[in-house]
Structure formats: structure tokens, C-alpha cells
A and B are shown apart, each in its own frame.
Chain A
Amino acid sequence: MTALIEVRDASVRYLSTGQTALRGTGLTVGPGDLTLVSGPSGCGKSTLLRLVNGLIPHSYRAEVTGEVLVGGRPVAGQTIREVSSVVGTMLQDPRKQIVGTTVAAEIAFGPENLGLPREEIRLRIDEVARRVGISHLLDRATASLSGGELQMVAFAGVLAMRPKVVIVDEPLANLDPAASLRLMAEIRRFTDEGGAAVVVEHRIEEILPFGPTEVLYLEEGAPRYQGPVEGFLQVAPVGHVKLPFATLVSRAAELPTVPMIRRSVPETSTPRLSYQGVSLGYGERTVLSDIDLALGSCERVAVLGPNGAGKSTLLRAAVTLVTASRGEVLVDGSPIAERSVLSLATTFGYVFQNPGQALFSATVGQELAFGPRNLGMSPEEIAAESEKALRAVLLDGEKDIMDRPPRTLSFGQQRRLTVALALAMRPRTLILDEPTAGQDLHTTTEFMGHSLAARSVESVYFITHDVDLALTYADRIIVVDQGGVAADASPAELARDTGIWSRAGLAATSLVRAVRDHLPDAGSIPHPFDLARRVSLLAPSTPSPKEGTTPS
């Protein structure tokens, strides 16, 4: 049988920057294969996908060497349309690639472009929708779908073109664990039925249970590992890839020491933010009802929950972006309604999920000055605060940073800049909405480390889908589900609460299981590396790394 995709010794140099993004990379994908591609941000994963689906060289100006064959023919000699009949591509953010106003229209888009007869298109829509379980959504407007639903619809849109291979760029970045499982199960089923898939993902642990046939790990544009999963787990760089806990234990000797993150000052008696019988919603629709909750002024709180449960809504109430329809929200003991937006802005530094949302100035310096100027700070104060904020997020080393246009920074740098923007207003509490979605482990560690360690900041509340992140960095975890708070406990307690992991769009990770098995049932938990070291000392009989790959 001929390979569907055959990349041999390929290199890519983007002409716009003259930068070589991929070097000497090979990839072979045949029917039934599920290939996992991983690597740090900017290592060339998306570039590899563009090479395979024909965007390079057809849409991007780039110089390609080596051989790229799709369906046995060179990509350069086919049009994107021809390639797309073999290779179906799902890009990272479904919000950007969905073009239909309704779900049915979206699925029909590809077949319509192929000029298929209407009857055929209708059959395909029904078949694909049934297959991925979205038949009940067909008439819904795409604008009203949740993140998880959107991802499924985007996938259906790709399948409707009947490709032989699907390539998927970071599909799990914005999905809750349950939705991730569903999507991966669909991809697995596609390969089981004779298709093939190439999945780019940082969240390796969530892919492993689906038995990838091959792992390609890229670093700085070149393959660093290529082969079966077992070997990958042995050699994967520990600080850069989130590995299953069992692997960490078996490789305990290599784990770097992690710096202790400074614990904040002891708790004061008045909570920073408290909800008393609060209901929150938009217009007619109530998203959360009867919330009673108090978040301390020196706590690190993680908020978990399924897509659309109301996590963002809960914390948006802290800065009156949503107002309570019932009950009362108190900030430092006084009703929020009595506080001005500006005084709230100095209490809470709120960092939105999308860093680009607020960047509008011509230079980083002006961007940093905007908030403080609204607060009425003097130019000298502003300069001093900006300096401090940049230092806190480690952007001060960047050359000419103050004069750079903010949007020309890398995505990760933009994220850190938005934290600096919040810090420049001297908040006492930092609120982060999904701060690490779609980032590699190294970036995540750096980012969380800096945010939590920022001077002046007493407490951090963050929303995340990454269970391990919550366990590692929070003192307390709140799970939001079904219009209310489904759980509110310390990480160790939560890990023990077996019931919660099967509900609330969550899935127990290997770290959760490790915490449950090895730690006392209260308090915060050590860094996974420290825990792994401890466990490996307790049980010298090293468990095989394969263990972590079986789903519970």
C-alpha cells in the first residue's frame, strides 16, 4: 500500500523573514496511522502541517527543499483543492475557520465548493453529523455554539469532504477534558476505519490513551525524536513536555529541582471577593444561580469546569463586567456597586484570555501608560510602574521593548505583556482567564511562575482547563458546573473526591491519581517533580512508563 503522505528530508524557509522554520524533517503516514507531532512553541509544527496540506508553497511564500508527496504525487504539482481531496485540515481555533452561519451550512461548505450535487451533499451532511454526534445541532446558528460543539462542527466540516487523512492543529487548546476525549475518540475512530490522522498537540497525556502509532518531536525546526510512544517517553525533555506521572516517577533522577514559589502573607479576616446568594447571567438567561462563595485576599484559587459552565462569568462579576441579578457581590467587605470601575481596577488586575483584545497603542510604552494614566498617575510614576511591571514578567531584557509595537511581539510575549498591563495598575489581586491555553509546558511554567511571584500581588485567581496546572499552582480549587459551584476544596481533597472527576467535564489525570494514592487528604500539594521524586524513593520498583498511558 502506498503512503498517503510522504515527506522526505524537507526544509522550509519563509521568504518574508528569511528564517528557516523546518529542517531535515521526514514523515510517513499510511492508512490507520495516528501520528502525534509535538514540540515547544515556534518549533515548526504548524509549518509542517502547511507543507502537507499545500498551503506551503501555494499560499505562503517559502522556499522548500526535499520531497513532499501527497497521495503519491508531489504537492507542488497539485493545487490546494486537489491536495484537499486527500488531506483534510482542521486549524487551531474553530472560531476562525467556521464560515457557515448554521451548522448545516458549515458542513456543506466543502462539498459545495467541490460542486457536488445537492442530493449527495445532503446525504453527506446527515452521515457526518450522525457520525460525530451533532445531528441535533444541524439547524443551530454557529455563533451560538459552545467551544466544544464548535470544535466538533469544524471536524464534521472536514470529514464531509471525505479526506483520506485529517491533520489537526492543536485541537484541544480550548476544550475541557471531557470534550477533548470526545474529539480524540472521533479522530481515533476515523483512523480505525482506515483513515489516517496527524495531530499536533501540547497536551500529550490526553493523546496517549488513544494509542498514537508514531510520535514526532520537533525542536527548533528539526526532528529530535521520531518513533514509537514508549521510546518517546524515555527521552522526552522533562521540563518541556508534560509527561504522564508514571513516566516522571521512572525518570525521577533527571527531574530538575523546582524553585519554591513564595507563599504570600497570612490570610486577613475579610475576604477579597465574596458572593452572597448571587445569580449571574446575560439578559434573560441565568448562567449561575445562588452562588455563596468567599475568595480570600491572600489565596491562590483555580477555577475548573466544562466549557460554557460560567467560569469566566463568575470572575467577571469581580470587575462588574457582569452584574448580579440577585444577591450581592462584596469586595473587601463592601458592596461592589459602591465601588467605581477605577477603584476596582486597582483591586483586581484582570487578564483576558485573548491577549490581543486590548492592545491598541503604537508602542509597548504607550500601551503600559494607558491604564495608569486613566488612574491619574503622574508621568514619573507611570514610567516607574511600567518598568517594574515589565521586569515582573521578564520582558525588560527584550531589546528596545518600550518602543516595539505590542502586536509584533510573539504570542507568549503578548500574554506576558497583558499581565504587565494589569500589574502597572498596581492591583492586589490578579485574575487570569485561561492563561496557558495552547502553550507548551515550559512557557506555562514560566508564565505561572512570574504571575504568581509578582511583588505587590497578594492573591491570584485563575481559570483553566488544565487540571494539573490547577493542582500544581492553586491552594484551593473551585469547580463550576450546572449553574453552581460543584466543588470547592484544596487540591488534595479534590483529588480524593472520586465523584467529581467523572462529572463536571473533568477527567482525572495521572497526576490526580498520584495525588490520591500518595498524599494525605488535605492541604496543597508539592510540585509534580517533587512528588515524583518522593514516590520514586518510596517505591524503588520503578513502574513502567507505559502504565501512565492507559486511561482509568
Chain B
Amino acid sequence: MSTDATTPREPVLSLSSRTVVFGAVGAALYGVLGLFSFLIPGTQAVTVRPAFALVPFFGKRFGVVAGFFVGLVGNAIIDLISGYGLTYWNWSVANGLVGAVAALIFLYLPPIASEAVRLVVTALGALLATAIGLLFVVTDLWVQSIDLKTVFTLNYLPALLADGIAVVILTPALDAIWEPLSKRTGR
């Protein structure tokens, strides 16, 4: 459990109390902040949920399990609180996958010294994770029996656009602030 704070601390799929607590903290943050969203002007359906940026951030910093947990449980809680029930469960899974994929992407990236490059890489990595993770919503094909074209034009692409903006802007900002602190917690 005790390794250097700057290198990945634990095996990829480990499940320590840290993972559990950070997952829960992230899910609660996502659940609360995710209640706020706004429409991109000029579109009718593209709502940006700024808190989505937390999902790849938690994946990157706290690993596959925590990232998946934050996306899955966080999104499910937003749905529960706003009262959609669990009807959109596959979207929760898609959110979870974004966190997990982000964790995997950054796990295999070498450490980057330059701060500016790191910011850009964080943004791109998080965007890529979002693009991959959200692909899971093609399950709407089966769950809702709508066809591929609709899934893409009405579900996947708007979500990617909205979440992509949030991720590109907020994830690097969060990550940059956490960088010096992660070394300081000294575990």
C-alpha cells in the first residue's frame, strides 16, 4: 500500500480503503455538482455538465476502480436525485468507463516534466477517454431499440461535444492544482 506518491501507488485493480473512500468522495462530488448543467446556446439538446470533468480526473489520479466507481455511481446518483430512476443505466456505465479508460491511458503514459505539455496531454487524454468510454451508449441500440444513426446523432455526438468541452477545460485545471498536493500528502 505504501509506495511513492508520484508513481502509481497500487496494482491496477487494487481495492484498498483508499480506493473505496476516494471513489465515494468522487461519486458524491460528481453527484452534487452534476446537478448543475447548462445548455449550449443554439442547440436544444446539448447540455454541458461541468462536473463530468471530475470523472477522468479521478480516473487519472486514483486508478481504474475509483474512476469507474465515480462515473458509475456518481451518474446513477444524479439520475436518482433528479428522479429519472435507473432507466438510463447504460449511461452510468458509459460514465464509469470514461473514468476507467482515463485511468488506463494515464497509467501507461510516461511522466511529463514540462507543465504546459502536461496540461495539454491531460486534456487530450481525458478527451480520448471520454470518446472511448461514451461509446458504450451504443447499447441504446439494444436497450431502446433505436438505430445506429439515431444513437450517434442524438446521443453519442451531442454527449461527446458537451462532455468534451467540460473535460478539456476543467480536467487539466483540477489536475494542475492537485499535482503539487498529491506529492505532499506523503503516503
Contact = CB atoms under 8 A, between A and B. Distances in A.
Nearest to A361: B177
A417 to B, nearest CB: 15
Contacts of B184: 16, 408
Interface in A335-378: 360, 362
Nearest to B183: A16
Contact of A360 (B5, B177, B181): B177
Contacts of B177: 360, 362, 405, 407
Interface string A52-65: 00000111110000
A60 B2 contact: yes
Contacts of B3: 61
A171 to B, nearest CB: 22
A59 B1 contact: yes
Interface residues of B, number: 13
B172 to A, nearest CB: 11
Name the prevailing secondary structure of the A interface residues. Answer: loop
B181 A408 contact: yes
B181 A61 contact: no
A17 B186 contact: yes
A362 B181 CA distance: 11
Given A60-B2, A61-B2, A405 B186 contact: no
B187 A60 contact: yes
Contact of B181 (A16, A60, A405): A405
A109 interface: no
Contacts of B2: 57-61
B187 A61 contact: yes
Interface string B170-187: 000000110011011011
Interface string B1-31: 1111100000000000000000000000000
A232 interface: no
Contacts of B183: 16
Given A14-B186, A16-B186, A17-B186, A58 B180 contact: no
12 contacts: A58-B1, A58-B2, A59-B1, A61-B2, A61-B3, A61-B187, A405-B177, A407-B177, A407-B180, A407-B181, A408-B180, A408-B181
Interface of B: 1-5, 176-177, 180-181, 183-184, 186-187
Given A57-B2, A58-B2, 12 more contacts: A16-B4, A16-B5, A16-B184, A58-B1, A59-B1, A59-B187, A61-B2, A360-B177, A362-B176, A405-B180, A407-B180, A408-B184
